[in-house]
Structure 1
Amino acid sequence: MVDAALAILREEGAAALTARAVAERAGTAVGTVYLLFGSLEALKLEANAVTMRLLRNHLTDELAAGRSDEPADRLICLADAYLVFARANHHAWAAIFDRRTIEPPPAIAADIAALFAIIDGVLAAIEGLDPDAIPVVSKALWSSVHGMVYLGELGGLGPVGRDDVPAMVETLVRAAVRGLRVGSN
Structure 2
Amino acid sequence: MGLSQAGLAALILTVPGLLAFIFAVVAENKKPTDDKAEQIFANGVTTCNFPDDPTIALGILAVIFLFISAILATVSFYYPFDKKPVSKSILWRSTSLVIFTILSYVIFMVAEALLLWAILVESDHCNNNRHLGEIQAYPTAKAGLFGGAGFLALDATLFFLIALMLTVNSRADYLELEADDRGSYGEVTTEYPVGVITHQIDRV
TM-score by length of 2: 0.24
Larger RCO, structure (CA 8 Å, separation 6 or more): 2
Higher helix share: 1
Higher strand share: 2
